[in-house]
Amino acid sequence: MPYERPNITELSAYVSGEQPTDGKTIKLNTNENPYPPSPKVLEAIAGVSGELLRKYPPPTAASFRRAAAEVHGVKPENVIATNAGDELLRLALTVFTDPQSDGRGIAVAEPTYSLYRVLAGIHGTPVYAEMLTDAFGLPEGWEGRLAQRPVGIAFVVNPHAPSGRLESIDRLAEVAGALQGRGILLVDEAYVDFAGRSALPLLDAKRGLDNVLILRTLSKGYGLAGLRFGYGLGHAGLIAAMDKARDSFNTDIVAQAAAEAAIRDQAYARSTWDRVIEQRGVMTQALQDRGFVVGRSESNFVLAQVPVGSVPAGEFYGRLKAAGILVRYFDQERLRDKLRITVGTPEQNRALLSAIDLILKPAKV
């Protein structure tokens, strides 16, 4: 096709985890919450009238933004509502990096969420990539090198995916400080609801940082991956710039109502987080007992290196799939010997361990 831009022709599109629809597969591959959303979300959805559907929705999701601002102790002008976190990522790239004049690009430390690279490819923006430390920490001296390069956005997913490691707030502040005046730090907190702390304190005026944007999503913590609703938290200037570039009515009336109900029911959401965190501990221990190497995760998944001398990770993935259980395998550097396993319900987790035992047994002989 001669019609699309060369960078689209060359692009390797983002590959998401498999989404079987057989209703039988145990899905531990895409980090969904194992529990459904609050009953209040279903009520809110059922309560949207034909008259509300007929008319354009509130363009900036004002009511949701007020609710999110209350929950996080910020102001509505510090909040932008988006179609899941993915829209926020694209919007930030569109606004804060530049394929034209000065070639401002993005910085990533890999492995990380692979969509960052894909979005940069669509936008036509350079990618300044380095490797994370062996412990999946940010690279030593990264701040200094960021300060030397034309970086519009540094992307840090925290807790990190796919390792689950949580970076310190002070380290994130150093990264933001190195970019201040030239670029922003985007902290992707897709999984933060399962972690011990958020980078939100970076938005405190007393930190003196005006270049931190925090991504949140309802996909994981609120059991709403199907709803595609996320939001950004940041300095009002960053939010206003993105507000100019978003699609005019980017979130719909049903999603706005559902998202507000979800975020207002913190008690329900927290009860699902607590259950996931408890099971994360159970699973980490159970996998370690079976010879897997599992680091400390602050997310709703664990990254597990398969036992040395057992089945290679790619084959392990395939045999679990044959047994009706999907986990995630990444055929890439640093991850080729590991499986990323979403923490499921106790029943799902037990089924996984049984399937693992069946695979390990012959290998142990």
Among positions 50-89, residues that touch a second copy (CB under 8 A) are 50-59, 83-84, 86-87
Q: Which residues pair with 27 in a beta bridge?
A: 326
Q: Which of residues 149-168 bind a second copy (CB under 8 A)?
A: 152
Cα 98 to Cα 122: distance, rounded to the nearest angstrom: 12
CA dist 233 → 77, 250, 292 (Å): 9, 17, 37
Q: How far is the CB of 137 from a second copy (least distance, A)?
A: 26
Q: How far is the CB of 306 from a second copy (least distance, A)?
A: 26
Q: Say how many CA atoms lie within 13 Å of 296 toward its Cβ.
A: 7
Q: How far is the CB of 335 from a second copy (least distance, A)?
A: 20
Q: How far is the CB of 266 from a second copy (least distance, A)?
A: 18
Q: Which residue has the tokens 């694209």?
A: 90
Q: Which is nearer to a second copy, 49 or 148 (CB)?
A: 49
Contact pattern from residue 242 through residue 281 relative to a second copy, giving x for each residue in contact according to CB under 8 A and a dash for the rest: -xxx-xxxxxxxxx--x-----------------------
Contact segment (CB under 8 A) with a second copy among 1-9, 64-72, 155-163, 290-298 equals 1-9
Q: Which of 117, 228, 264, 340 binds a second copy (CB under 8 A)?
A: 228
Size of the residue set binding a second copy (CB under 8 A) = 90
Q: Which is nearer to a second copy, 96 or 292 (CB)?
A: 96
Q: Which of 65, 90, 165, 216 binds a second copy (CB under 8 A)?
A: 90
Q: How far is the CB of 288 from a second copy (least distance, A)?
A: 28
Q: Which of residues 93-122 bind a second copy (CB under 8 A)?
A: 94-101, 104, 115, 122
- Spatial contact of 113 and 272, defined as CB atoms under 8 Å apart: no
The amino acid that residue 107 corresponds to is A
Q: How far is the CB of 86 from a second copy (least distance, A)?
A: 5
Q: Which of 28, 108, 187, 227 binds a second copy (CB under 8 A)?
A: 227
Q: How far is the CB of 199 from a second copy (least distance, A)?
A: 18
Q: Which of 34, 56, 37, 33 is nearest to 46 (CA)?
A: 37
- Spatial contact of 231 and 216, defined as CB atoms under 8 Å apart: yes
Q: Which is nearer to a second copy, 37 or 111 (CB)?
A: 37
Cα 134 to Cα 139: distance, rounded to the nearest angstrom: 9
The amino acid that residue 364 corresponds to is K
104-129 residues labelled b (16+ CB within 10 A) or e (exposed): bbbbbbbbbbbbbbbbbbbbbbbbbe
Q: Which is nearer to a second copy, 67 or 359 (CB)?
A: 67
Cα 56 to Cα 252: distance, rounded to the nearest angstrom: 8
Q: Which of 22, 24, 46, 141 binds a second copy (CB under 8 A)?
A: 46
Q: Which is nearer to a second copy, 165 or 264 (CB)?
A: 264
Q: How many CB atoms lie within 10 A of CB 54?
A: 8
Q: Which is nearer to a second copy, 219 or 279 (CB)?
A: 219
3-40 residues labelled b (16+ CB within 10 A) or e (exposed): eeeeeeeeeeeeeeeeeeeeeebbbbbbbbbbbebbee
Q: Is 237 exposed, middle or buried (0-12, 13-18, 19+ CB in 10 A)?
A: exposed
Q: Which is nearer to a second copy, 30 or 78 (CB)?
A: 30
Q: How far is the CB of 240 from a second copy (least distance, A)?
A: 8
Q: Which of 121, 111, 196, 107 is nearest to 159 (CA)?
A: 196
Q: Which of residues 306-365 bind a second copy (CB under 8 A)?
A: none
Question: Rule CB under 8 A: is residue 291 a binding residue for a second copy?
Answer: no
Q: Which of residues 173-212 bind a second copy (CB under 8 A)?
A: 181-184, 210-211
The DSSP-derived string for 54-87 is HSPPPTT-HHHHHHHHHHHTS-GGGEEEESHHHH
Q: Which of residues 4-43 bind a second copy (CB under 8 A)?
A: 4-9, 11, 13-14, 16-17, 19, 21, 27, 30, 32-37, 39, 41-42
